[in-house]
Chain A
Amino acid sequence: MDLRKLVERRKLTDRLFAALGICCVLIALLTLVVLMGDLARQGLSRIDWQFMTSFPSRAAARAGILSAWVGSLMIMLVTVITAVPLGVAAGVYLEEYAPKNRLTTFIEINISNLAGVPSIVYGLMALGLFIYQLGMNRSTLAGGLTLACLILPIVIVATRESLRTIPSNIREAAFAIGASKWQVVSHHLLPYSAGGIATGVIIATSRALGETAPLITIGALTFIAFLPPPPVMSEPPFVSFQWLHDEFTVLPIQMFNWVSRPQPEFQVNAAAAGLVLVAMTLSLNGAAIWLRYRMRKRIKW
């Protein structure tokens, strides 16, 4: 009898906790749905070909996000191209090559901490370093490098976490056949951890995509009514790197600009730009999930 009562009570606790959990999940989900719904209600009708292919304008109806999304893509390109090789190499070094001593531990702790530094601090650092010290103008290059610094710690941590999931007996197997450290890294560890690293990079990129503060800090413009010359041309010199040196804007900055205008038409534009931004972020995250799923199926320990 007593035993049955005990069981009943425990089952009740179980059910209570399940209900509580469902409530928490619903709160999180509903917030997201309401946010997205609100954005969509305001902005969805504004998204059309004209909106995607027009420069910003003083007239809300003629304004568009062409320079903003092109700017976002260019910035991301610079960010990924610089942050990924640096971050992966640093991660591999720390995990596989560095001697395990106090200095390494100190560096590791600091890298983890760097991942938590507010993004505006990176903006200040970039303003001082890239703009004032190195004399760059407020260009795509400077912006991309700023965000590269921001995501570098995330890439390093993702690389190390990914390397750590490879069992040590796999390393020993490769070493025992006579592989050098670099052969172990390049033939085995990097291929096996590529999925995890790519997932980390994509998630870091989707975070960088939404960053506004550090780019405003280094002086990104809010009104860009031109595109840089295309990187590949049909006549000599065929390639142009002018886009690296031109001024830029990005989607969240364009959005911020419109939100701060008093006219309600611009609020609609801001909502539409927000929708585009969310769509880009979600598709990046979706790609990360798909990649992780694929790699988990292919690599098994």
Chain B
Amino acid sequence: MNAERTAITHADPASTPKVSPRVVGPFKAEVRDVNFYYGQFHALKNVSMPFVDKRVTALIGPSGCGKTTLLRCFNRMHDLYPGNRYEGEIILHPDQINIISPKVEPLEMRMRIGMVFQKPNPFSKSIFENVAFGLRLQGETNRRVLADKVEAALKSAAIWDETKDRLQKGARDLSGGQQQRLCIARAIATEPEILLFDEPTSALDPIATSRIEDLIDSLRGRFTILIVTHNLQQAGRIADYTALMYKGELVEMDKTVAMFEKPSFKLTEDYLTGRFG
């Protein structure tokens, strides 16, 4: 690609906002000037972006760009390991709480913001107990209510038909794809405000992947969803909004269709066309 065309097609990074004006509220969460450090390593650099309420936002970018780091800020997973440091604000609407403030209790955030991991990680307990764990943590002891909510979560996660006859059987005997849907049921059982997905299909085969994608699509409108993915087609298929990160910075955030059709910056176009990453 020659320099002249670049100049015509792409905006000037210095004067154009990274977050496109097409990304409009209501917002569920707003990241404001977040910096994150693993010890000395500066992993997130002045990241600012909003997340639209009850919509799916994909975080994409090459390995090590900070997308998973940003995701794990939302439920304060970094607090589990020593030497990590947050700066800035992640404002959770409508309460206006700064999620990463030291004054905010990580346990509370983790009960309000659910997460699904890269590798399916159900507990070595029964299917029922896997889903009920979050409800029990939130003080639910009524057996009827527990049973109803577990059933509802399993139905929402499109795994009820496969598990209804074996709720007391071990969750680890399920297939990988089923385990991942069980983990989604576990995360949504407590009706969290935000759902975080950290590359939820990278350990699964294509058929299981497509079932998870259908499932995420069906959760749109109920939850605000953030999904980290390495798979650009996946972002294109399921995300309403997409944010590209590179070397700890936000490159560009826009409506997915707009970004994939006409990226504002050359860096975005290079990434989307597979020129790096």
Contacts and interface: CB of A to CB of B under 8 A. Distances in A.
A299 B107 CA distance: 27
Given A188-B123, A192-B124, A300-B172, A176 B107 contact: no
Contact of A301 (B77, B107, B108, B124): B124
A175 B119 contact: no
Contact of B110 (A99, A177, A300, A301): A177
Interface residues of B, number: 26
B29 to A, nearest CB: 17
B183 interface: yes
A187 B172 CA distance: 17
Contacts of B108: 178
Interface string B35-54: 00000000000000000000
A180 interface: yes
Interface in A243-301: 298-301
Nearest to B136: A187
B1 interface: no
B123 A174 contact: yes
A179 interface: yes
Contacts of B80: 171-172, 175
B86 interface: no
Interface string A50-61: 000000000000
Interface residues of A, number: 23
A170 B77 CA distance: 13
B221 to A, nearest CB: 23
A177 B134 contact: yes
Contact of B77 (A99, A176, A179, A299): A176
A177 B137 contact: yes
Given A180-B107, A192-B124, A300-B124, A174 B115 contact: no
Q: Do most interface residues of chain A lie in helix, strand or loop, or is the interface mixed? A: helix
A265 B1 CA distance: 102
Nearest to A188: B123
A236 interface: no
A169 B117 contact: yes
A175 B138 CA distance: 13
A77 B117 CA distance: 45
B119 A169 contact: yes
Given A176-B115, A177-B186, A100 B82 contact: yes
A170 B111 CA distance: 17
Given A99-B82, A300-B172, A176 B114 contact: yes
Nearest to A299: B124
Nearest to A166: B124
A183 B80 CA distance: 14
Interface of A: 99-100, 167, 169-180, 183, 187-188, 192, 298-301
10 contacts: A169-B117, A169-B121, A173-B121, A173-B183, A176-B115, A178-B134, A178-B137, A179-B133, A300-B172, A301-B124
Given A170-B123, A188-B123, 16 more contacts: A169-B119, A171-B80, A172-B121, A173-B121, A173-B122, A173-B186, A175-B77, A176-B75, A176-B187, A177-B110, A177-B111, A177-B137, A178-B108, A180-B107, A192-B124, A300-B172
